[in-house]
Amino acid sequence: MTFKITEPLVRKLLATVDVGLSRGLGEPIPGKMCVEAAISYALGEPHSDGPSCVDPIVRQAKITLNDAAWSSEQARAKGMRRVAIAQLGSKGTINATRFVTLLAEYTIRELVPVALRAAALLNPSHAQALEGRAVQCERDGDKAAADAAYAAAKAADAAANAAYAAAYAAYAAAKAADAAANAADAAAYAAYAAKAAANASYAAYAAYAAKAAANAAYAANAANAERDRNLSLSASLMVRALHECGSPGCEWLWLVDETEKEGA
């Protein structure tokens, strides 16, 4: 039977997400479950993080991003609102390997440079090399660029946690870029793409947190906001990849935007 997305389903899922999303599977109670469990809940399926309408590889990327260190359950929900809908109906309709390949490219172009530049702020002696690799990632968006970024960040990682996180972000993005050549392991590569985003976000967080000595309250708030911003960017990159792959849920993003305006 063909899976059908309806307006009541989308509205129920959005209402469930908007209460908040937990880190980990959680409980079948709105506000106490992860994004994939929220979909199972909206579908009326048993409590699980494997909803029947979501491609397993997309699911793996989403679980990894869901479980990243968002600043709060509300921030997680707000950041993942659109991708929660975009993934609906992806099972059996998208080319999952292409999804991972696109997600890796977008991550290399947009998130790895965030990590590299955050590391550069805390590693002035390596700033020129890190900036060069950031520009290469933005320009090329491929595994070679991610590998070069990894090497540059690795060379700086003794100096600051941000550089270590940047190195791992680049490494994870490079692994994700292998998806096209290793389709059998695409689920693992999907997780790597999300891990790259998590590490890029941590690198940016570390750069802001380093200012804490001067203004602790401002730095802590700014660091959390920057981390959430980059995790949200990763979610938006997932939406872009799902749209490119023709995931049916993307046709309902208008309702996501409409309900967001209603709640503003």
Whole-number pLDDT of residue 264: 47
Neighbours of 125 (CB within 10 A): 9
Whole-number pLDDT of residue 209: 58
Consecutive H or E run containing 256: helix 253-263
pLDDT at 52 over 80: yes
Neighbours of 120 (CB within 10 A): 27
More confident residue, 129 or 121: 129
User: What is the band of 263 on the pLDDT scale with cuts at 50, 70, 90?
Assistant: low
SS3 content of the chain, % helix, strand, coil (to 5): 75, 0, 25
Measured CA to CA, the distance from residue 36 to residue 49 in angstroms comes to 5
* Per-residue pLDDT tens digits for 197-237: 777 776 766 665 555 555 555 556 777 888 898 889 889 99
**Statement: the pTM of the whole predicted model exceeds 0.75:** yes
CB 164 within 8 A of CB 116: no
Measured CA to CA, the distance from residue 204 to residue 98 in angstroms comes to 28
pLDDT at 135 over 80: yes
CB 59 within 8 A of CB 30: no
Whole-number pLDDT of residue 159: 46
Measured CA to CA, the distance from residue 172 to residue 221 in angstroms comes to 27
* Per-residue pLDDT tens digits for 160-204: 556 666 666 776 677 777 665 565 566 676 777 777 777 777 676
The residues facing 26 across adjacent strands are 33
Sorted by where each begins, the domain ranges of the chain are 1-94+248-264, 95-245
Identity at 142, one-letter amino acid code: D
Neighbours of 128 (CB within 10 A): 11
Measured CA to CA, the distance from residue 74 to residue 84 in angstroms comes to 14
